Amino acid sequence: MFPQGFKWGVSTAAYQIEGAVDEGGRGRSIWDTFSHESGRITNGDTGDVACDHYHRYREDVELLSGLGVDAYRFSIAWPRIQPDGKGPANAEGVAFYDRLVDALLERGIDPVATLFHWDLPQALQDEGGWFSRETAYRFGEYADLVGAALGDRVKLWITLNEPFVVTVYGHAFGMHAPGEARMLDALPTAHHQLLGHGLAVAALRGRSASPITIANNHSPVRVIGDSDADRAAGAAFDALQNRLFVEPLLGLGYPEGLQLPVREGDLDIIAAPIDALGVNYYNPTGISAPSTDELPFDMVVLDGYPMTEFGWPVVPEGLTELLTDLHTRYGRPMYVTESGCAYEAWPEDPDRIAYLSGHVEAVRTAIAKGADVRGYFVWSILDNFEWAEGYDKRFGLVHVDFDTQVRTPRASYRWYRDFIAGTR
């Protein structure tokens, strides 16, 4: 049914769960700054405490163990390792991830580490952040430090999480940190992240024998309308969301028509061989011809589907379509590095169970059609700090009471546990 060695997992990210932002010698990140600016986050929430995972990681590892997952995807907070984004490793920061990794291994859970899930050290932002090429080199150095510390125990590396979202939401629309709204002028941040990815791959290869991937958020395009202009808009969106952050990694260069600050040798660095593609999937996107000249497309809400509490359409067959398309386009092994939904209900959460069972079935169908999918990670184990939505949107298999930090597994936690057990 699922291939031998298929990895069932769950995912989190440092800023969304750790809290303890002033402990262990951690420096400030752009999300500390952004979340403390008024009007940025729903209810003025911040990640200062989040799920207090920094102090409660043992309890959280017990929850992972009870779930029976093969693997746990977490991210390493760059400002815990390098408080100012450069220089030697901060021993206390490294020690936290050392403890976490060892606790996972003791429970037989593979540590899957993401190096960058959006919490750029503020000191690097002050020097231009991802608009600066230098940030790519700092990222390579940071990857080398993490590889040296954890390279013997991390089982799968993920360099960047969703560089598309960093470029588009962080630098084009300004809804995420660092809050820049520069529309298409944000594109250099895409190139610099990918350059950083390539440098990080090279650094990790020198430190670890484990496979390396990247987690991209992909979205199948649904063209709304049947004019040539609508179809051209669909192709432009597809290039930006589904191709820009994949093709240069595979030595295929950038999609045509994008202006990027590429220097000689960059494309070779970016094309450092990787072992798989990471796919984060939430929903397809409706696209039609642009109504302004700011972007080459309009994004249209898809109707006719059930919606999560985020207002995102529930379209499990979109995951089959995505995985089979990526297989046809690139023919690489893939991991579904995130899949999940926001529903508040607890302890019973039938909508999440329906969502997840539909999506694992969609993966099974994609595999039956020939896609080489090697793992599936639910976003997320815990309710957590959902970026611009603060604590308002809940993605957890486990409910978190943010006043008391009490964790209560939802029915979906038991469903996923039993489902995983049933595949053995």
Q: Which of 238, 338, 349, 383 forms a contact with ligand BGC (CB under 6 A)? A: 338
Measured CA to CA in angstroms, residue 235 lies from 162, 252, 256, 290, 322 at distances of 20, 17, 11, 12, 15
The span from the CA of 273 to the CA of 212, in Å, is: 9
d(CA 229, CA 249): 29
- The answer to whether the beta carbons of residues 309 and 393 sit under 8 Å apart is yes
Compute the least distance from the CB of residue 407 to ligand BGC, in Å.
18
Count of positions on this chain that bind ligand BGC (CB under 6 A): 11
**Smaller CB distance to ligand BGC: residue 338 or 349?**
338
Q: How far is the CB of 215 from ligand BGC (least distance, A)?
A: 7
In the complex, least distance from residue 337 CB atom to ligand BGC, rounded to whole angstroms: 8
Q: Toward ligand BGC, which CB reaches closer, 210 or 384?
A: 384
Minimum CB distance to ligand BGC smaller for 12 or for 135: 12
* Whole-number Å distance between alpha carbons of 190 and 197: 11
280 binds ligand BGC (CB under 6 A): yes
Binding mask 213-252 for ligand BGC (x = CB under 6 A): ----x-----------------------------------
Helix ranges, 18-70 (H): 30-35, 53-67
Binders of ligand BGC in range 174-213 (CB under 6 A)? none
Please write down the HEC assignment for all residues of 186-198.
HCHHHHHHHHHHH
- 280 pairs with which residues across the strands? 217, 338
- Identity of the residue, 207 or 218, whose beta carbon is nearer to ligand BGC in the bound complex: 218
Q: Which residues pair with 336 in a beta bridge?
A: 279, 376
Distance CA 410, CA 343 (A): 11
What's the CA angle centered on 389, arms 383 and 393, to 5 degrees? 35
With respect to ligand BGC, which residue has the nearer C-beta, 141 or 389?
Answer: 389
> Per CB under 6 A, which of residues 377..406 are in contact with ligand BGC?
379, 386, 395
- Cα separation values, 268 from 47, 162, 198, 216, 251, Å: 37, 21, 8, 20, 7
Question: Binding to ligand BGC (CB under 6 A): which residues in 142-171?
Answer: 161-162, 165
Please say if 338 is a catalytic residue: yes
Catalytic residue (one of 18, 180, 338, 386)? 338
Shortest CB 253 distance to ligand BGC, Å:
26
Rounded Cα distance between 191 and 197, Å, is 10
| By CB under 6 A, residue 319 contacts ligand BGC | no
Q: Are 307 and 313 in contact (CB under 8 A)?
A: yes
Task: List all residues 6 or more positions away from 313 whose beta carbon is below 8 Å from its beta carbon.
Answer: 283, 284, 302, 303, 305, 306, 307
Q: Which of 162, 247, 321, 386 is catalytic?
A: 162
Q: What is the dihedral of CA 308, 312, 314, 317, to 10 degrees?
A: -160
Q: Minimum distance between the CB of residue 82 and ligand BGC, rounded to whole angstroms?
A: 21
How far apart are alpha carbons 174 and 149 in whole angstroms? 34
CB of 319 to ligand BGC, least distance (A): 14
Q: Which is nearer to ligand BGC, 31 or 149 (CB)?
A: 31
**Closer Cβ to ligand BGC, 360 or 378, answer by number:** 378
- Select from 8, 9, 10, 13 the one that contacts ligand BGC (CB under 6 A): 13
Smallest gap from Cβ 227 to ligand BGC, in A, equals 31
Q: How far is the CB of 384 from ligand BGC (least distance, A)?
A: 7
Concerning whether 389 is annotated as a catalytic residue, the answer is: no
Mark 391-411 as b/e (b = at least 16 C-beta within 10 Å). Answer: bebbbbbbbbebeebebebbb
Q: Please, which of residues 70-129 interact with ligand BGC by CB under 6 A?
A: none
Which strand (E) or helix (H) includes residue 136?
A: helix 134-150
Task: Say which residues have a Cβ less than 8 Å from residue 252's Cβ, sequence separation at least 6.
Answer: none
Closer to ligand BGC by CB, 149 or 341: give it: 341
Where on the chain is the footprint of ligand BGC (CB under 6 A)?
Answer: 13, 16, 161-162, 165, 217, 280, 338, 379, 386, 395
| Residues designated as active site | 162, 338
